[in-house]
Amino acid sequence: MSEQTVRPCPNANSVSLDGFDIPLPAAGSSPVAYAETLGEAYLSFAKRQHRKKGGHYLTPASIARFMADCSTFSAPHMRVLDPGSGAGILSASVCESVSRSKTVKKLHIDTYETDPLLIHLTHRVLDHASAWLSHHGVALTFKVKNEDFVLQYAIQPELEATACGDNGRGFASRADYDLVISNPPYFKIRKDDPRALARASVVYGQPNIYSLFMAISAELLSETGSLVFIVPRSFASGPYFKKFRELFFRKVSPSAIHLFESRKEVFKGQTVLQENLIIKAQRHRGSEPSVEDRVRISHSRGASDIADSQRFFVGMNSVIDLSSDNKELSIPLCDSDLDLIRTIRSWPNSLHTLGLEISTGPVVPFRATQFLSDSTIEASTVPLLWMQNVRPMRAEWPLGGTSKPQGIRFTPGSAKLLVKDATYILLRRFSAKEEQRRLVAAPLVRGWLRADMVGLENHLNYIHGTSRTVDTELAYGLSALFNSTFLDRYFRISNGNTQVSATELRAMPLPAEKHIRLIGKAVQSRIDSEPDLPGLVNSLVAGALDISPQLCVAQGLTSA
């Protein structure tokens, strides 16, 4: 589509661009309405694989308007950046909000996009918005840039400041935007990708392109500027985004967060299965956010009910732990979530203080195919446990009705993949995208499998002793804690990933060991006779740790 030809269509309501019929704006249509029309036409025209490759997931109109309404338009002249503009609906939503502000007289918008067809659509939307805004007393100018946004700002700000002279903001010769609003592309890039190399200061592992958009945008804000992004929640926790969070929250402070509870109802019809959020962040002059600041939290199931979302305000320290190196972002959705955070963070222990460590199962199946066995009775074969073998409070082996080999041959070549028979706490590392639980744990007691060695597949984590031996009572107690609604909810507040990383479990607060043992002893004596295992676990945890009946009820549980 390098040589684009626009031709009139037989239908007077559209024009044709290289075979794509572009609708013309209906009389009196708003900028968002027109952008939505063009976006829907694009989704019908462009192949799904093409859109996926470019990370194009177009923003629904209700979300675009919500994001623009998060912003403040109080200056007579405003400069706005829309990187990854898609069909221009976020820029259009800004134009609509500006028209209601009564204060903005001049508006300039810069957009970046690499898809030639989307560039053309954005240009048409802003042409229409310019005429529309003129009737509201606002002069709109804009530039639609056919450039890779990340590579355009490839020079590290520290280097640019040194070369060009620092303007006191940590970078030089950069546009100061009052607002950056974006639904950036979502896809992973290789570590040797030029965009990753250009932003090495925020890259760890295999980076996702959206975090680079966020990092650059934070640098481009004016001293009073803000950004509003809709992105996957994955940046908010975990080791892969740690470097990004350190730099991002050094420059901006979150002032509003909206969480989407469903992975399917945000970008309907666009096959997105991410847990998404909208974050508004304000440029700050200090080295880090202040604990005195407050953050507005809201949530909805998806795009259709976003206008009716419930909102409440929380202190900054309930959202970001400023004392932590990780700067992980927690998202409590109600007052009972705040009570739960305070309760669990008051617990005195962690795995480390209890003399425990968590490791990942060493058996990577595709690297160990020569050792895997369908037999569970051969003398040279020892048990192999997968994620599917672990149910709440129970490890089942061998597991019927599965195609996964339940044995692994014990040879000199496989010995390094096995762990000795001992008492462990097993945890699933992954959960299905819409699964009710994130934390699923079970005790594996020494001697149960009647083998000297055991294979643990790579989708399992296992807790073991470092300076001590894990006994049965402790294993049952910790398993019950991890299976409780309390810790599962706490994990969800601080983590939107389907992966349960060892790093996050190491940081999770745990109660006094005597209370863990009290839980373990009680659950061990009743587990085989109790039909309601989840209810038993929650009741014993609440009773042993003196969790208030009010908090139990607020979390959807019967009080202990």
Question: Does 376 share its domain with 503?
Answer: yes
Question: Does 403 share its domain with 535?
Answer: yes
Which residues share a beta bridge with 390?
395
Please name the amino acid found at residue 396.
Answer: E
Question: Does 329 share its domain with 394?
Answer: no
In a domain, 30, yes or no: no
Question: Does 103 share its domain with 58?
Answer: yes
The per-residue pLDDT for 403 is 92
The per-residue pLDDT for 559 is 44
Among residues 200, 261, 197, 270, the alpha carbon closest in space to that of 233 is found at: 261
Total domain count, the chain: 2
Question: Does 81 share its domain with 134?
Answer: yes
The per-residue pLDDT for 286 is 58
In a domain, 4, yes or no: no
The per-residue pLDDT for 15 is 60
In a domain, 9, yes or no: no
In a domain, 176, yes or no: yes
- The two tokens of residue 229 are 């992004």
The per-residue pLDDT for 375 is 86
Question: Does 370 share its domain with 301?
Answer: no
Question: Does 228 share its domain with 283?
Answer: yes
The per-residue pLDDT for 491 is 92
- The two tokens of residue 534 are 């989840």
Q: End of a domain among 295, 318, 333? A: 333
Report the distance separating Cα 230 and Cα 239, nearest Å: 21
- What residue numbers bound the domain in which 223 lies? 48-333
Is residue 181 within 8 A of residue 228, CB to CB? The reply is yes
Question: Does 383 share its domain with 311?
Answer: no
In a domain, 362, yes or no: yes
DSSP line for 253-320: EEEEEEEES-SSSSSTTTT----EEEEEEEE-SSSS--TT-EEEEEEESSSTTGGG-EEEEEEGGGTB
In a domain, 463, yes or no: yes
DSSP state of 528: T
The per-residue pLDDT for 7 is 44
In a domain, 513, yes or no: yes
Question: Does 454 share its domain with 325?
Answer: no
Report the distance separating Cα 211 and Cα 149, nearest Å: 12
Question: Does 511 share its domain with 469?
Answer: yes
Question: Does 323 share its domain with 362?
Answer: no
Question: Does 269 share its domain with 394?
Answer: no
Mean pLDDT per 10-residue section of the chain, whose length is 560 residues: 44 62 87 94 75 71 95 92 95 97 94 92 96 96 94 60 38 71 89 79 79 93 95 87 89 93 68 79 72 87 89 90 79 93 94 97 96 88 96 94 94 96 96 74 97 96 95 98 95 82 91 97 91 90 90 71
The per-residue pLDDT for 52 is 58
Tokens 């599917």 belong to residue? 388
User: Which CATH number covers residue 250?
Assistant: 3.40.50.150
Q: End of a domain among 298, 333, 368? A: 333
Could you tell me how many residues make up the chain?
560
The per-residue pLDDT for 102 is 86
User: Which CATH number covers residue 457?
Assistant: 3.90.220.10
pTM of the model: 0.85
In a domain, 496, yes or no: yes
The per-residue pLDDT for 16 is 66
